[in-house]
Amino acid sequence: MLEFDQMKSELKSYDDTLREVFDSLDIEGKKNKIQEMEREMEAPDFWNDAETATKKSQELKSLKDDVAVADSLQQKYDDIETFIEMDAEEDEDDPAMLEDAKEEFEQFKTDLENLRLKTLLSGKYDHNNAIVTLHAGAGGTEAMDWTSMLYRMYSKWADKHGFGIELLDEVEGDEAGLQSVTFQVNGENAYGYLRSEKGVHRLVRISPFNANGKRQTSFSNADVMPELKDAPDIVIRDEDIRIDTYRSSGAGGQHINKTSSAIRITHFPTGIVVTCQNERSQHMNKDKAMEMLRAKLEVLREEEQEQKEADIRGDVSSISWGNQIRSYVFQPYTMVKDLRTGEETSNVQGVMDGDLDPFMNAYLKWVSLGKPKRGVTDAE
């Protein structure tokens, strides 16, 4: 009876946290929104605008996923209460029931913490879609292959969350992989989660492109920014940019390579360069590239402000485009380790198949504890 009594007391201590998390995520509001959207989708002309309909379908799935997680969490809480009530009717603890209750309780605490971390997505643009650019770094063909592997990893992660992926620009490698790729991830909180991925990703493996079968280290840099449809505070003067057009390359549909529709915009004051080639026209590529430039400038402005605040606080480390954030070791052992949070796993294949949530959640928790953002220059 004693263990169940202790469990009852501990369970009650989570009441306030559970309610606060549900209120913060507006679970009841999302249930009402689901009903509204389902009625809207019943309209016979709903799919007339396929692009809008697809985005609404993705939004609906995201809402349903949030509600399902909350309902599952509440059900676990109720099940644990039932275990406790059943035990109260017995003269002594049932070992099997106690074990089931303990297992359910541990899962409840894990799920509650993961859901609580979602409430930390309170940044100005955390709820926005995300635009990710991957650039191959040192390592030649191996680095280009690594960049394509990272693109696949993020595509798998997005798919697991019901997020959509739009390819905006890609430059294929000479032999294999990608020199660079830019894509947009569409889904609630996409930027809030993916901003944890900004920085240098390091691969260590026996390269299939090395004839001597030697272990090789290569790098790829991830740049992440929010999709910003409107950024009125960002002023871009015509004399500050150069717009170049060129023929598109890579997989992009029937319009690719027929016209010089791809756009490259160079921003002289900052040196920022953005490209877009996968929209259906030069005009659309230009609009998207300008949108990306505004987003980059806004992120840069926020980072400069963070750096000023860090200087005032006296933080030793600084925000840098070149921070190494994560190491992926395939041989001679398997290990993925985040060099900021210390989160690690030996399940490299799982990570490459999109199991990134533990790393993203660890980052959110790390930042919420006030840890300075910093890179690590050398780690295995």
Q: What is the DSSP string of 248-272?
A: --SS--TTTTTS--EEEEEETTTTE
> How many structural domains compose the chain?
2
Indicate if 311 and 198 belong to the same structural domain: yes
| pLDDT confidence of residue 179 | 93
Torsion angle in degrees (nearest 10) through CA of 331, 336, 341, 343: -120
Indicate if 182 and 252 belong to the same structural domain: yes
pLDDT in tens, 311-341: 654 544 433 334 789 999 998 899 999 999 9
Indicate if 12 and 71 belong to the same structural domain: yes
CATH number assigned to the domain comprising residue 225: 3.30.70.1660
Report the b/e string of 266-275 with b at 16+ CB within 10 A: bbeeeeeebb
Residue where a domain stops, chosen among 74, 98, 118:
118
Contact criterion met (CB below 8 Å) for 155 and 187: no
Indicate if 241 and 363 belong to the same structural domain: yes
Indicate if 36 and 148 belong to the same structural domain: no
Helix or strand run (H / E) with residue 215: strand 215-226
Residue where a domain stops, chosen among 67, 83, 118:
118
Indicate if 140 and 84 belong to the same structural domain: no
Report pTM: 0.69
Helix or strand run (H / E) with residue 225: strand 215-226
3-state class of 165 per DSSP? strand
CB 364: neighbour CB atoms within 10 A?
A: 22
139: DSSP letter = S
Indicate if 278 and 211 belong to the same structural domain: yes
> What radius of gyration, in Å, describes the C-alpha atoms of the chain?
24
Side by side, the strands of the sheet bearing 335-338 are: 164-172, 178-186, 130-136, 215-226, 199-206, 324-329, 335-338, 344-345
Q: Kindly report which listed range (189-193, 241-245, 304-308, 374-378) carries the lowest average pLDDT score.
A: 374-378
Among 214, 187, 196, smallest CA distance to 54 is for 187
Of the ranges 1-5, 43-47, 326-330, which is most confident?
Answer: 326-330
Number of H-type helices and E-type strands within the chain: 10, 11
Torsion over CA: 238, 239, 245, 248 (sign): negative
235 found inside a domain: yes
Phi-psi region of 76 (alpha: psi -120 to 50; beta: other; left: phi over 0): alpha
Q: How much is the average pLDDT of 262-276?
A: 94
CATH number assigned to the domain comprising residue 12: 1.20.58.410
Contact criterion met (CB below 8 Å) for 359 and 335: no
379 found inside a domain: no
Domain coverage including residue 64: 2-118
Indicate if 268 and 315 belong to the same structural domain: yes
201 found inside a domain: yes
Contact criterion met (CB below 8 Å) for 153 and 351: yes
3-state class of 274 per DSSP? strand
Is residue 75 scored above 90 in pLDDT?
A: yes
**pLDDT grade for 374, boundaries at 50, 70 and 90:** very low
pLDDT in tens, 84-107: 888 777 767 678 888 888 899 999
Indicate if 158 and 88 belong to the same structural domain: no
Indicate if 20 and 163 belong to the same structural domain: no
Indicate if 303 and 166 belong to the same structural domain: yes
Indicate if 71 and 208 belong to the same structural domain: no
Residue where a domain stops, chosen among 68, 92, 118:
118
* Residue in the block written with tokens 């960049």: 147
Percent of the chain with pLDDT over 90: 51
Cα separations in angstroms, 255 against 248, 250, 265, 280, 372:
9, 11, 21, 7, 46
377 found inside a domain: no
| pLDDT confidence of residue 314 | 54
151 found inside a domain: yes
Any residues with CB less than 8 A from the CB of 170 and at least 6 apart, and which? 178, 180, 181, 182, 249, 250, 251, 252, 277, 278
